[in-house]
């Protein structure tokens, strides 16, 4: 009698021919493993498989056997396929040639590149090779060897005593940024205009000739915000790729790069030392960087009292402190380098205020609220929100609508979600004028006034066009 189906003892060797279909078997001792042909000729089973069929039916056994083969022989990535092919060609103990060894090193580097990068492995200046710049003007220097940083002779050199509301649109930069403009910023002298947008670029324009002077290409995702230093020699750009770049305006050279865990929404140079800067991020923290420190210790302070994404930063009180707004609907004042708020303005009925602008006199900050109002915050003495002084008439709910002031501080301006630009008298909060900027009614989210102009203003938004009014 056979002990196991497929194997016979010496007393019952005549049972073996009956087990093999269509073949005659010599009654000699058989091997411990006998291959059986079953009803499906394409499938073959060994001694171990025949034992398994006594405990599992054919369907369960085939599924488990198939899943095991897939997990064992099919690599998951391209690099694993290359390594498996090399092992099949050379054998488990074979040695590859020198060229194959070099290829193996390249494959190992590709695998390392595919792994996630930790914050501690990144250096502040590691992306300088990938950042580029391009000059689009006719010549980088004039006949006297001066670059575009030199203010033209016919351009005003002092602030206007009295400013007026613009009347007409004198020029339009068509599709300045594809898919929309996120921020506009005038050079401190007013003869240059800096813009950033959703096409992951930053562009510098000549206000007089209206030509594109230089493009800055260092981000891989839309650029959220830009800001100049006091002299205008450098500027900061913040992108959705979680990178903060410091650029040289004249040469386009990328000086520093900082990686943050959250998306940088706003940045600001320290007025007391322009080698330091702060970056407000979506992880509810404000990071204070020192460019003179080594790459692994450039964060010299972290301000972490906000409970949600930090949206704006502005220097206040004679630039001795700075103010931040957040999605937690609070406004906080800070001393430079101290992680304890000097003042916290918050209220259950208070709305989020994502965009702010400092008054030319420096005693107030205009805050664009999500309740279709522009609120004012007193930034000298006892910091407080002036609940009696606010500006209405425009639509800002649901959008980050920028605000700005005329150089003399008498007029407050704002964009609108219906394609309009609004102007209020700062003292009386009365609407002075409203202009239809975007003829299609798109969002106008960026506003800026020329710091040395009389009535020159620029507007932009979701259409990607930049409108120059005067």
What length does the chain have?
A: 470
Q: How far apart are CA 216 and CA 121, in angstroms?
A: 26
Cα-based torsion angle of the residue sequence 240, 241, 243, 247 in order, rounded to the nearest 10 degrees = -80
Which band of pLDDT confidence, cut at 50, 70 and 90, is reported for residue 130? Answer: confident
Bigger pLDDT: 118 or 371?
371
**Residues spanned by CATH 2.130.10.10 within the chain?**
134-469
Q: How far is CA 448 from the centre of its chain?
A: 24
Average pLDDT over residues 178-185: 95
Average pLDDT over residues 4-30: 44
Q: What is the pLDDT of residue 91?
A: 60
Residue 21 to residue 38: CA distance in whole angstroms: 9
HSE (CB half, 13 Å, CA atoms) of 238? 26
Fold of 134-469: Methylamine Dehydrogenase; Chain H (2.130.10)
Residue 82: strand, helix, or coil = helix
Task: Tell me the whole-structure pTM to 2 decimals.
Answer: 0.72
State the Rg of the chain over Cα.
35
Query: pLDDT at residue 50 above 50?
Result: no
66's tokens: 């198939």
Cβ contacts of 462 within 8 Å, gap of 6 or more: 180, 442, 443, 445
> d(Cα 296, Cα 127) in Å, to the nearest integer?
15
Residue 78: per-residue pLDDT: 65
> For a pLDDT cut of 90, what percent of the chain falls above it?
63
Report which of 193, 183, 189, 177 is spatially closest to residue 153, judged by C-alpha positions: 189
**Does residue 212 surpass a pLDDT of 50?**
yes
Confidence band, pLDDT 50/70/90 cuts, at residue 66? low
Distance of alpha carbon 8 from alpha carbon 338, whole angstroms: 87
How far is 323 from 450, CA to CA, in rounded Å? 24
| DSSP per residue, 21-69 | TT----SSPPPS---EE-SSTT-EE-HHHHHHTTTS-HHHHHHHHHHHH
Tokens of 450: 């020329």
CA distance 298 to 292: 8
Q: Are 203 and 216 in contact (CB under 8 A)?
A: yes
Residue 365 is predicted with a pLDDT of 96
Residue 207 and residue 192 in contact, taking contact as beta carbons nearer than 8 Å: yes
DSSP string, 222-279: -EEEEEE-SSSSEEEEEETTSEEEEEETTT--EEEEEE-SS-EEEEEEETTEEEEEEE
Over residues 304-332, the pLDDT tens digits come to: 999 999 999 999 998 999 999 999 999 99
Which helix (H) or strand (E) is 342 found in, with range?
none
Question: Can you say how many angstroms the Cα of residue 273 is from the centroid of all Cα atoms in its chain?
Answer: 26
How far does CA 144 lie from the centroid of its chain? 40
CA atoms within 13 A on the CB side of 333: 21
* Contacts of 167 by beta carbon, 8 Å cutoff, 6+ apart: 455, 469, 470
* CB atoms inside a 10 Å sphere around CB 288: 19
**Residue tagged 């007025």 (tokens):** 271
Q: How far apart are CA 357 and CA 323, in angstroms?
A: 11
Higher per-residue pLDDT: 2 or 155: 155
Q: Name the percent of the chain lying above pLDDT 70.
A: 74
Burial class (CB in 10 A: 0-12, 13-18, 19+), 79: middle
**Averaged pLDDT, 71-82:** 58
């Amino acid at each position: 009698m056979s002990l196991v189906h497929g194997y016979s003892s010496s007393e019952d060797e005549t049972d073996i021919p009956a087990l093999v279909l269509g073949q005659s078997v010599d009654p000699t001792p058989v091997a411990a493993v006998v291959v059986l042909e079953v009803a499906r000729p394409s499938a073959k089973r060994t001694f171990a498989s025949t034992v398994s069929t006594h405990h599992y039916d054919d369907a369960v056994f085939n599924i488990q056997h198939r899943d095991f083969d897939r997990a064992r022989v099919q690599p998951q990535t391209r690099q694993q396929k290359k390594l498996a092919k090399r092992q099949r060609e050379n054998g488990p103990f074979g040695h590859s040639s020198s060229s194959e060894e070099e290829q193996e090193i390249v494959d190992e580097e590709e695998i390392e590149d595919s792994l996630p990068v930790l914050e501690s492995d990144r250096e502040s200046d590691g992306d300088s090779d990938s950042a580029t710049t391009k000059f689009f003007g006719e010549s980088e220097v004039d006949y006297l060897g001066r670059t575009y940083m030199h203010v033209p002779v016919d351009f005003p050199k002092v602030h206007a005593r009295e400013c007026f509301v613009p009347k007409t649109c004198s020029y339009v930069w068509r599709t300045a940024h594809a898919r929309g403009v996120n921020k506009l910023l005038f050079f401190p002298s007013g003869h240059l205009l800096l813009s950033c947008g959703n096409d992951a670029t930053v562009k510098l324009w000549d206000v007089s000739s209206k030509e594109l002077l230089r493009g800055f290409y260092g981000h891989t995702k839309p650029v959220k915000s830009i800001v100049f230093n006091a002299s205008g020699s450098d500027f900061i750009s913040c992108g959705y790729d979680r990178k903060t770049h410091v650029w040289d305006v004249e040469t386009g050279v990328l000086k520093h790069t900082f990686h943050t865990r959250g998306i940088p929404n706003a940045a600001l140079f320290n007025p007391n030392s322009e080698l330091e800067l702060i970056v407000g991020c979506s992880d509810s923290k404000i990071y204070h960087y020192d460019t003179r420190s080594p790459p692994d210790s450039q964060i010299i302070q972290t301000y972490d009292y906000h409970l949600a994404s930090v949206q704006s930063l502005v220097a206040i009180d004679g630039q001795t402190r700075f103010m931040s707004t957040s999605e937690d609907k609070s406004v906080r004042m800070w001393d430079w380098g101290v992680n304890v708020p000097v003042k916290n303005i918050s209220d259950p009925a208070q709305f989020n205020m994502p965009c702010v602008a400092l008054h030319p006199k420096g005693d107030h900050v205009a805050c664009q609220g999500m309740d279709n109002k522009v609120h004012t915050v007193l930034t000298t003495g006892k910091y407080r929100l002036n609940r009696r002084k606010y500006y209405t008439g425009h639509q800002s709910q649901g959008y980050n609508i920028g605000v700005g002031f005329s150089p003399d501080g008498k007029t407050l301006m704002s964009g609108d979600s219906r394609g309009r630009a609004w102007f209020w008298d700062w003292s009386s909060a009365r609407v002075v004028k409203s202009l239809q900027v975007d003829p299609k009614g798109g969002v106008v989210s960026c506003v800026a006034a020329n710091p040395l102009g009389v009535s020159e203003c620029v507007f932009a938004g979701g259409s990607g066009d930049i409108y120059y009014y005067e």
